Structure 1
């Protein structure tokens, strides 16, 4: 069985002179103002990634629940590794989690990572070790087990900053179960320019994300394209705390960061509109991009529906949108198939008929009427009546989805 066994790598380019600082993803997108009314509170995001270091300053007051042990048995001894670590291998997962719920408090008095949705609950699942190829999860591929556990734990959003070239029936079944359960699954496209092909980003019904720069341009290293591309989001030059010393910050880039940013933005919108369904929140994501006008209109196969706008999603009322996931494609080539992504139809109740009842008065002195069941109409009788039969029948039947890239968009401030 092929498994998704590679984390989406992140590069660490030097920050050019005059380039926006590595907190642009927070400042330039208006998140500080949004947090006055929405923080992600009440929304649970499952992050499935490398081991995590929950002791970093950014996560000191986060609502963070780490599932122990991890879903990885790297040395094959039958015992899964710990989900937490303080080595460099925890950098990726710690960075993605901080990008979602970080409090902005940095190590050694430095500016810290500011989270997109600091009030959200994070349920964390580690599925990989430093040696990814040696990760032999004891109960099937690690990512599959982690996704299934996230669904069982009631995750509203599942953030998957991971990817691989192959998949199998168990992986597809886990994704299908997640979408069918009502969770929003967000996955990063591969960190390599070219057609979208990695799993789980290419899975049917999943929100697929790629990265844009502070200038709202597609980075040459991350120009992934195809009909399965859905949105782009901040992901180039993002502030990240680096292990193993956990005192150094670097500007890192990749579709992983764009995935975490989008997951946080979805949580903001959902916390502002708690009565909306998962499908309606996805509708809002696609309709209310930076270039969106409230309609489901794709830009092209590079930008998908456009650049994610947390502000527009918070401002728009998603409950006015159809309760339908517009990313589910009903096609023979779509995997998982659409039929496995939709909840089973509600059973139609069988028609019921009240039994016939015959009623007769036992009172020989009754001359102007008869006693009847209070639930039935009273039928007046003229004259002396010895008996009367009343037939009553009451029946009820209840019932009832993309080529030339346009490389810039105006930045929302």
Structure 2
């Protein structure tokens, strides 16, 4: 991976009119829980932007006194997601889309040899976030083994008024394993696009894709979380930007509910080029919070009605992206330090056990 100083990623913030939006709202007053690998204090993220948070990791039996504080991150994935939302743009870091928001880091075993426990830890983390004031919960990862626990935790968070975003996955060129968390009713499944608004080939896609956001070349933590580099951010990064988009809208309209924030993001999304209402690659389109903040577009509608709680439009799934060059999904995920390899492994195991048919089903929207 080239150093960030040597290669500048596309300026997606300018395309999104971030500077203009920040004059209306910058995310202030909104807490985003990043349930991930933790957060490490690094150049580019101000400490005042990050709350104390909590760690869900259990110490190993042989080292019962081993602490795993939330403000640590072996892998750098959670730190990257945090910076994508609230980074200050210094020291090679990205400038966050919602710089006035607060991040609640909730640490799991992602990025460690204990990653097999991350699903159950994440479920506990979701409940913690909901109980401690998080309006938005960002899940830039997926797990097959703890699906029922995650489903229950997400429903609990929704009962507390939280809005949940989940990455679709980065295996669009492989087995296209979708993150099962995205199929839970009310969860916003996020796909990834590039700077031309074309879907990334590595982006997992399917009927549970609801929105998309930029996920191509971006500034991410690399080299075991010791530096900022430039690489594909994938659907993980896209999910962080979708969460940040929601934070901007909610900051401008603090009296809205999660359903209303989700509804206006869906209504104002950049719809597919073929004229369809949605497709399996980008869902209802790329998140465009500027439409809400600068153009006053979008009808928030009923506060207690899930905007996804309706029959999905019947349309032919979109064809594959038009790009002719893209790294294989597995290589891209590994390069960006994204924790989807074990998600894909879970899909293989589930298939071997005959579980895929019972787990990967059409999300009920009615």
The answer as to whether partners of 1:202 and 1:208 remain within 8 angstroms in 2 is yes
Q: Is the 8 A contact 1:71 1:127 kept in 2?
A: yes
Give matches, 1:76-95, under 5 Å: 76-77=61-62, 78=64, 81-85=68-72, 89-95=74-80
Superposed displacement of residue 172, structure 1 = 1.6
Counterpart Cα distance in 1 of 2:283 and 2:110: 32
Question: Out of 108, 120, 129, which is 1:141 matched to?
Answer: 120
Aligned partner of 1:253 in structure 2 is: 233
The question of whether the paired residues in 2 share the 8 Å contact of 1:280 and 1:318 is answered with: no
Cα offset for 1:136? 4.5
Aligned equivalents of 1:306, 1:288: Cα separation in 2: 8
Instruction: Find the counterpart in structure 2 of residue 205 from structure 1.
Output: 186
The equivalent position to 1:157 in structure 2, one of 112, 136, 143, is 136
Deviations 1:92-122 (A, max 9, x none): 111110000011111xxxx431000000011
Determine the structure 2 residue equivalent to 1:405. Answer: 318
Alignment match, 2:40:
53
CA offsets 1:162-188 (integer angstroms, 9 cap, x no match): 112333433221011111221100000
User: What does residue 229 of structure 1 align with?
Assistant: 209
TM-superposed deviation, 1:327: 2.1
Q: Residue 306 of structure 1 corresponds to which residue in structure 2? A: 285
Which of 308-317 and 37-46 deviates more? Answer: 308-317
- The correspondence for 1:327, drawn from 293, 297, 308, is 308
Aligned twin of 1:67: 53
Which residue, 252, 275, 294 being the options, matches 1:272? Answer: 252
Distance 1:14 1:134 in 2: 27
Q: Tell me the number of residue pairs that the alignment of Structure 1 and Structure 2 aligns.
A: 311
Question: Is 2:249 aligned against 1:262?
Answer: no
- Structure 2 vs 1, CA of residues 13 and 198 (structure 1 numbering), >3 Å: closer, same or farther? farther
- Alpha-carbon distance in 2 for matches of 1:248, 1:210: 23
**What is the TM-score with the length of structure 2 in the denominator?**
0.76
Q: CA deviation at 1:61?
A: 4.9
Question: What pairs up with 1:111-190 in 2 under 5 angstroms?
Answer: 111-133=92-114, 136=117, 141-190=120-169
Q: Could you tell me whether the CA contact under 8 Å between 2:38 and 2:72 is conserved in 1?
A: yes
1:35 aligns with 2:30: no
Structure-2 change in CA distance of 1:273 and 1:245 (3 Å): closer
Q: Per-residue deviation at 1:275?
A: 2.0
Rounded Cα–Cα distance in structure 1 between residues aligned with 2:186 and 2:110: 28
Once the 2 structures are TM-superposed, how far is the Cα of residue 232 of structure 1 from its aligned partner? 1.0
Partners of 2:68 and 2:242 lie apart in 1 by: 29
Alpha-carbon distance change, 218 to 76 in structure 1, aligned in 2, over 3 angstroms = farther
Between structure 1 and structure 2, the one with the greater Rg is 1
Unmatched segments (≥5 aa) in structure 1: 1-11, 332-400, 409-413
Q: Give me the TM-score of the superposition, normalised by structure 1.
A: 0.68
- The reply on whether 1:216 has 2:216 as its aligned counterpart is no
Matched, 1:281 2:261: yes
State the SS of the aligned residue for 2:69: coil
1:287-298 matches, within 5 Å, as 287-291=267-271, 298=277
Q: What's the CA shift for 1:31? A: 1.0
Deviation at 1:144, TM superposition (A): 1.0
Summarize the Cα distance change of 1:168–1:290 in structure 2 as closer, same or farther, 3 Å threshold: closer
In structure 2, the residue matched to 1:98 is 83
Q: How far apart, CA to CA, are the structure 2 residues paired with 1:132 and 1:211?
A: 27
Higher helix share: 2
Which is worse superposed, 316-325 or 274-283? 316-325
Helix, strand or coil: the match of 1:250?
strand
